Amino acid sequence: MTKTDRRPLVGVLALQGDFSEHEARLREAGADTRQIRYASQVADLDGLVIPGGESTAIARLTEEGAAVIFATVKERILEGMPVWGTCMGSIFLAEEIEGSAQGRLAVMSIKVRRNAFGPQKRSFECPLEITGLGEPFPAVFIRAPLITAVGDGVDVLGVLPAELNAGASGIVMARQKNMLVTAFHPELTADLRVHSYFLQMVGEHVSRPLSSTGV
Amino acid sequence: MTRVTKTVETIGKIATGTELVKRSLPAMLKGGVIMDVVNAEQAKIAEEAGAVAVMALERVPADIRADGGVARMSDPELISQIIEAVSIPVMAKARIGHFVEAQILQSLGVDCVDESEVLTPADEQYHIDKNQFDIPFVCGAKNLGEALRRIGEGAAMIRTKGEAGTGDVVEAVRHARTILGEIRRLTVLPKEELMTYAKEIGAPFELVKQVAEEGKLPVVNFAAGGIATPADAALMMQIGVEGVFVGSGIFKSGDPMKRACAIVKATTFYKDPEVLAKVSRNLGEAMVGRSARTLVGDETLAARGW
C-alpha cells in the first residue's frame, strides 16, 4: 500500500443491509468510512462496499429516486474504483442473475444464482480456503448466492467444495480487476483478512497523491 | 463467540443453526421494512414494494382486534404458498409458548419465527426455548429486562411490542425510548452496580454486562406495533431502531402498494425530510386506527408475555 498519512476513504452503500458491520471492520482494518445514500457522496471515494441485504428491496430503490446513485456508482466502477460486493452486493454487480431481470449494476462477468442453498435453516458457517489468505477463513453464508459461471478475466479465489455437503457447491469468491465479490459475510466475524485484502486493492488503485488534507 | 445451540462444530464441515448464523439473518434486514401478509397475493405486493421480508399470519392485528376469538399460527398451506410466491425471507407468527407451532413453522421452511403477543398466548408462564431451534426467532419487548430475557432464551432479534392493530405509534415510541434509554443508562453504571441492576430488571447478568460494555443489544432491534405512515417509520428510525415492522398499516389502508413503497423509502431516507414529504403525498386513506389509550383490559396486547 502507498505510504500515506491519510487513511483511504471507503464508502459503504447504506440503503439497506448490514452496512454498519462493514464500516466497523473497515475502520479496524485501517480505512475511513462513509455511509452512501446519495449520488453526491460518491465522487471522492477511494473504494466502495456493497453490503449484504435483500437484493429485491435494493433493486426496487434503483427504479425510483435512487436511480441516480447507481448510475454514478457504475460510472466510478468503470473508471476503475475498487468495489466489493458481499452476498446481495455480489448479486448487484453480476452481469447475469439466473431467472431474474431485477435491477443491478451488471458490471462483472459472473452469473449468480440467488439463494442457492435454500431457506434460513440451510444457512451455515464453515472454514473456507481462500487463495492467498493462508489459514481457512471463518465464512458465514446467510441465504447466500453462488457464482455459477465466470467470464474471461475473472479470478476464482474461493470455492465451496461439494464434500462439505452444504446442499450446494461452487464459486463463492472471485475478482475481476477492480471488482471483488464474496457470497459470504466477512463483516460478521472478527477476522479482518478479507477487508484487508480489499483495502490492498484500494491502496493499489489510489493514483492521486494521498495527502493529509483529509476530505 | 459462545455457542448456546445444540449444533456440534466440526472442522471442515458446515455448521447450521449456530448463534452467529441465527443472528446474522436479521442483520441483513436492517434498514428495511417487514410487512404483515395473510396470503401469497399480499406477499407479492409487499415484495414488489421493496419489503425486506414478509410476516405470515392468519389475520392482520386490526382484524384480530375486530373479530375477537383465539388467534393462532396460519394454515401451513397458506404459509407454503407465501414461501413459493416470494424470494425474500418469510417469517411467520407462533403463539407465545407454543413451541409446537414453532416446530411446524421451522419444518415448513420459514426463515424466522415471531413468538408474538399479537396471537393468543398458549402459555402464560413460559416462553419458547428458542435455543432449541435452527432458525432465528424475533420477540417483542417493552423494556430492556424483557428484551434480555428473550435473548437469553435464544431470540436472535428484538422488536418493540407497541400496540399492534391500532395504527397508533405511541406505544412503539414508548417501548423504543424505554429500551434505548435503559441501554444508555446502563453504559454509565459503575461495574459494581451491574449485578443489582440485573436483579432489578430480571435479566441475565452476562447479557447485562455485555450491553453495558457494548452500548447496544447483542441482536438487531426493530420497531413494531402501530406504525401506519412513512413519517411513523422515519420517527422510529430517528429514535434509534434498526428497521420497522408494519402490520395492519399497509393492507388496511386505501392504496396498499403506494403506501408500502412510501414506507420503504421513508425507512431508507429516514433523516431526509424532503424525501419524507415527497413520499407522504397522496397516499390515500391511512388505516382507520384506534387510540391506544382507549384500549381496555385484555385489549392491550403488549401486556401479553413478561
Q: Which residues of B touch A21 (CB under 8 A)?
A: 27
Q: What is the pTM of this model?
A: 0.92
A66: pLDDT strictly greater than 70: no
Cβ–Cβ gap B88/A64 under 8 Å:
no
Average pLDDT (B177-199) is 98
Mutate which of A69, A121, A164 to test chain B, going by most B C-beta atoms within 10 A?
A: A121
Report which of B292, B288, B286 is spatially closest to residue B250, judged by C-alpha positions.
Answer: B286
Three-state SS letters, chain B? CCCCCCCCCCCCCCEECCHHHHHHHHHHCCCCEEEEECCHHHHHHHHHHCCCEEEECCCCHHHHHHHCCCCCCCCHHHHHHHHHHCCCCEEEEEECCCHHHHHHHHHHCCCEEEEECCCCCCCCCCCCCHHHCCCCEEEEECCHHHHHHHHHCCCCEEEECCCCCCCCCHHHHHHHHHHHHHHHHHHCCCHHHHHHHHHHHCCCHHHHHHHHHHCCCCCEEEECCCCCCHHHHHHHHHHCCCCEEECHHHHCCCCHHHHHHHHHHHHHCCCCHHHHHHHHCCCCCCCCCCCHHHCCHHHCHHHCCC
In eight-state DSSP terms, residue A61 is: H
Average pLDDT (A93-121) is 92
In the block, cell 432458525 appears at B135
Expressed in angstroms, the distance from the first to the final Cα of chain B is 28
Cβ–Cβ gap B21/A119 under 8 Å:
no
Residue-wise pLDDT tens digits, B96-111: 999 999 999 999 999 9
Q: Are the C-beta atoms of B28 and A88 separated by less than 8 Å?
A: yes
Q: Which residues on neighbouring strands pair with residue B15, listed in sequence order?
A: A125
How confident is the model at residue B298, as a pLDDT? 76
Strands (E) across A23-177 are located at 32-36, 47-50, 83-86, 94-97, 108-113, 124-128, 137-141, 146-150, 155-160, 170-176
Round to whole Å and give the CA distance between A125 and A23: 22
Round to whole Å and give the CA distance between B69 and B58: 12
Q: Are the C-beta atoms of B221 and B244 separated by less than 8 Å?
A: no
Report which of A3, A93, A4 is spatially closest to residue A48, judged by C-alpha positions.
Answer: A93
A202: pLDDT strictly greater than 60: yes
How confident is the model at residue B8, as a pLDDT? 39
Cβ–Cβ gap A123/B89 under 8 Å:
no
Query: Cell triple for residue B235?
Result: 420517527
Cβ–Cβ gap B268/A37 under 8 Å:
yes
Round to whole Å and give the CA distance between B184 and A152: 52
Average pLDDT (A63-89) is 87
Q: Which residues of B touch A17 (CB under 8 A)?
A: 28, 30-32
Expressed in angstroms, the distance from the first to the final Cα of chain A is 20
What angle is formed at CA A93 by the lines to CA A123 and CA A111, rounded to 5 degrees?
Answer: 70
Confidence of residue A116 (pLDDT cuts 50, 70, 90): very high
Cα A117 off chain centre by:
19
Q: Which residues of A touch B269 (CB under 8 A)?
A: 37
Confidence of residue A152 (pLDDT cuts 50, 70, 90): very high
How confident is the model at residue B301, as a pLDDT? 85
Cα A79 off chain centre by:
17
Look at B123 and A58; give whichever has higher pLDDT. Answer: B123
Report which residue type is found at B269: F
User: Do strands A47-50 and A83-86 pair parallel, antiparallel, or not at all (unpaired)?
Assistant: parallel
Look at A215 and B69; give whichever has higher pLDDT. Answer: B69
Asked if the C-beta of A126 comes within 8 angstroms of chain B's C-beta atoms, the answer is yes
Task: Give the chain B residue whose CA is nearest to the CA of A114.
Answer: B87
B118: pLDDT strictly greater than 50: yes
Cβ–Cβ gap A64/B16 under 8 Å:
no
Compare CB distances from B134 to A15, A121, A185 and report the shortest one's residue. Answer: A121
Round to whole Å and give the CA distance between A203 and A4: 10
**Each residue of B50-72: b (16+ CB within 10 Å) or e?**
bbbbbbbbbbbbbbbbeeeeebb
Cβ–Cβ gap B16/A140 under 8 Å:
no
Q: What share of chain A is helix, strand, coil (3-state, %, to 5)?
A: 30, 30, 40
Confidence of residue A165 (pLDDT cuts 50, 70, 90): confident
- Considering chain A, what percentage of its residues have pLDDT values greater than 90? 73
Q: Which residues of A touch B52 (CB under 8 A)?
A: 16, 53-54, 57
A61: pLDDT strictly greater than 70: no
Average pLDDT (B140-163) is 97
Residue-wise pLDDT tens digits, B250-259: 988 889 999 9
Query: Cell triple for residue A53?
Result: 441485504
Lowest mean pLDDT among A86-95, B3-12, B68-77: B3-12
- Considering chain B, what percentage of its residues have pLDDT values greater than 70? 96
Q: Which residues on neighbouring strands pair with residue B116, listed in sequence order?
A: B95
Cβ–Cβ gap B25/A142 under 8 Å:
yes
Task: Give the chain B residue whose CA is nearest to the CA of A188.
Answer: B24
Q: Which residues on neighbouring strands pair with residue B92, listed in sequence order?
A: B56, B113
Task: Give the chain B residue whose CA is nearest to the CA of A116.
Answer: B87
Q: Which residues of A touch B50 (CB under 8 A)?
A: 56-57, 60-61
A12: pLDDT strictly greater than 70: yes
A56: pLDDT strictly greater than 90: no
Asked if the C-beta of A181 comes within 8 angstroms of chain B's C-beta atoms, the answer is no
ipTM: 0.91
Cβ–Cβ gap B16/A123 under 8 Å:
yes
Lowest mean pLDDT among A52-56, A92-96, A139-143, B75-79: A52-56
Mutate which of A12, A16, A19 to test chain B, going by most B C-beta atoms within 10 A?
A: A16
Question: Where do runs of H (alpha helix) occur along chain A?
Answer: 19-28, 55-63, 67-79, 88-93, 193-205
